Chains A and B, each alone.
Chain A
C-alpha cells in the first residue's frame, strides 16, 4: 500500500504523538525538576523550562538517600536473583523441552499454575521461612524467595523446543550425555532466549518493592525503590521535589539503560509469551 496523506494518516500520527508525549512526560518532568532550582515550600516554580540549571540536587539526593549504597544493594540482589533463576530454570527448561519422562505435562502445568499465585499470598510465610534460617534483614533473604521463576522456565522451554531433535540425536550418537548435551549444545543455541530472560529477570527484581519493604528493615541493605520511598516519606509533608526527582532519576537509571540496550530482545520475548496464550 502506498502511503497517503488522508485524514486517517493524520489521525494516526496525532494519536502516536500524544501517546509518545504522555509516555515520556513523567521522565521529562523528572529531569526538568531535578535540574531546576529548588522545589521546596519556599521556592516553587511551575515553569516548564527551569530558570537555572544545577546538578546539586543529584549529589544532595545521593547523600540524603544513601543512594550509592542502595544502588549497590540493588545490583547485588538483582544479579544474585538472576544467577539463581538461570541455574534453576535452564536445567528445568531443558528437561521440559528435550527429555521425555513420566508426569512431564503435569509438572509443567504446575510451573504455570505457580505463576498465577500473587506474590502477596506467599509473602508472610516466606518471611517466616527466611527468618527461621536467620536471614531476615539480609541480602540473601532478599534473593532466596525468588530463586525459581516460572516465566524464565516457560520462556526458555518455548525456545528450546525449537531445537531440532535431529541435533540432539546427533549429540547422543557422538556419545554426549544429558549434561554435556545441555552444556555444549542446548545452552549455546539458547543464548538469545537466555539473554531475554535475564533482562526480564533483572528489570523485575531491580524494581521489586513489596518484598524488600517487608524483609529489609535496616537502611544498610535497602534496595533503590525502598531507599527512594523512605526518602519520600522522610520529607514530612514538605518535600523538596527537586531532590526527590533527582533521586527518582538515579534509581531509574540502571533499568533505563538496560532497557534501552535490550529493547529488541524484550519485545521478542514478550511476543513469545503472547504467542503461547
Chain B
C-alpha cells in the first residue's frame, strides 16, 4: 500500500518506494554474497583453520606458500588442460550443431529437446554413468568398443594420463549442449533480410558464414566464451564423484584442490581462501575482458548488419549500454 496520495508522480521521487522494493533482494545479496566475499578476501591473509578458534594475520604468507606448493601448481596445470580439452572443442561443436539445427524444420522440437538435455543434467548422476562407461575392466562401454578393434582395455579412471581427459569428457558433453542452446538463440535473432542481402551479393556457404553469420554472432561468441570459461574454471562435481582428484592428483582441478585444502586434508581455511580469491580474480578478469570484447563485437555486428542492408541489430539488445555480462556463476552448474 502506498502512503502517497493521488498527486504523487511516477518519476524521480520514487526513491523511498524503490528502497522498500529492493530491500529483501539486497539483504540476501549483502548477507550471502557481498559480506562473505570481503570476509574471504580478509581470511586469505590469515592462518585460520577450520578447527582452531584463534588465527593471526599473516599478510602474504599464504601467497608464498602457494608459490612453493607443488600440488597447487599441479591443480593449476590440470585446470588449464581441462580448459584446453573443453572450451574450444565445445565452442566449435556447439556452433556446428546450432548452424545445422537452425535450418531444420521437420522434427525440430524433438531434435532440440535431445540436444538441450545435457544442460539440465544432474552432474552427479551423469558422473555415475560415465564411471560405468569408463569402467576399468573389459566390461565398460569404452573398453568394449576398444575390444572390437582388438585393443587392450584401458584403466581410464585409474591412469594418470587418462583420468583428467575422462573427467573433461563429461564437461565437454555438457558444455556442447550449453553452447548449442546459446548459439541457437543467437542465430534466431539474425534477421532473415541479412541472409537475403547476402544471397543477392552472391555470398553462399563458407563465404556467407565467414563474412555474414560469424561477425553477426560475435556478441554471442563473446558471451558464450565468458560463460563457458567461468563454468569450466569452477569444475568440481564431476571430479568429486569420478576420481576424487586422483590418481596421484592427476585430475585435481583448482576448485577441487581448494576443497581438499579447506575441508578434507588439513582444514586450512586461510590458505584455501587465498586460492579461492585467486579464482575470483581470474573470473573477474575473464568477465572484464568479455565486457570489452563484447562491446567491440557489437559494433562489428552492427556494421555487418548495416552492410547487409538491414538496420536490425542481431541479438536485438534493447539497451545499447548493457552494463555487464549476466554471467551466472551457477548457471548450469
Residues of chain A at the chain B interface (Cβ within 8 Å): 8, 12-13, 15-16, 19-20, 22-24, 26-27, 29-30, 33, 39, 44-46, 84, 87-89, 91-92, 94-95, 98-102, 104-105, 107-122, 124-126, 129, 144-148, 150-151, 153-154, 158, 161-162, 168-169, 172, 175, 177-180, 182, 200, 203-204, 206-210, 213-214, 224-225, 228-229, 232, 239, 241, 244-245, 247-249, 251-252, 255-256, 258-260, 263, 266-267, 270-271, 273-277
Q: CB of B103 within 8 A of chain A?
A: yes
Cα A191 to Cα B122 with chains together (Å):
27
Min C-beta distance of A159 to chain B, whole Å: 11
B132 contacts A244, C-beta separation under 8 Å:
yes
Query: CB-CB < 8 A to B259: which residues of A?
Result: 120
Cα A232 to Cα B127 with chains together (Å):
10
B186 contacts A117, C-beta separation under 8 Å:
no
In the complex, identify which listed stretch (B64-72, B73-81, B113-121, B302-310) lies at the interface while the others stay far away: B113-121
B22 contacts A91, C-beta separation under 8 Å:
yes
Q: Which secondary structure characterizes the binding site on chain B?
A: helix
Q: Which secondary structure characterizes the binding site on chain A?
A: helix
Query: CB-CB < 8 A to A200: which residues of B?
Result: 331
Closest-by-CB residue of A relative to B145 is A46
B33 contacts A270, C-beta separation under 8 Å:
no
Closest-by-CB residue of B relative to A98 is B10
Q: CB of B316 within 8 A of chain A?
A: yes
Known: A178-B17, A251-B124, A251-B125. A214 touches B36 (CB 8 A): no
Min C-beta distance of B42 to chain A, whole Å: 9
Min C-beta distance of B37 to chain A, whole Å: 6
Known: A19-B97, A100-B11, A120-B258. A277 touches B133 (CB 8 A): no
A274 contacts B223, C-beta separation under 8 Å:
yes
Cα A269 to Cα B184 with chains together (Å):
12
Q: CB of B260 within 8 A of chain A?
A: no
B24 contacts A29, C-beta separation under 8 Å:
no
Query: CB-CB < 8 A to B26: which residues of A?
Result: 92, 107, 148
Q: List 18 A–B pairs whose Cβ atoms lie within 8 Å, in order of A's numbering.
A: A15-B96, A46-B139, A91-B21, A102-B15, A108-B323, A122-B37, A129-B36, A147-B28, A147-B32, A151-B328, A158-B318, A209-B237, A229-B240, A255-B121, A255-B122, A258-B120, A277-B222, A277-B294
Known: A92-B24, A129-B32. A20 touches B205 (CB 8 A): no
B10 contacts A99, C-beta separation under 8 Å:
yes
Min C-beta distance of B1 to chain A, whole Å: 6
Query: CB-CB < 8 A to A33: which residues of B?
Result: 129, 132
Known: A16-B97, A100-B12. A229 touches B124 (CB 8 A): yes
Query: CB-CB < 8 A to B15: which residues of A?
Result: 101-102
Query: CB-CB < 8 A to A151: which residues of B?
Result: 326, 328, 330-331
Query: CB-CB < 8 A to B319: which residues of A?
Result: 276
Min C-beta distance of B131 to chain A, whole Å: 8
Cα A33 to Cα B141 with chains together (Å):
11
A16 contacts B100, C-beta separation under 8 Å:
yes
Cα A24 to Cα B115 with chains together (Å):
8
Min C-beta distance of A11 to chain B, whole Å: 8
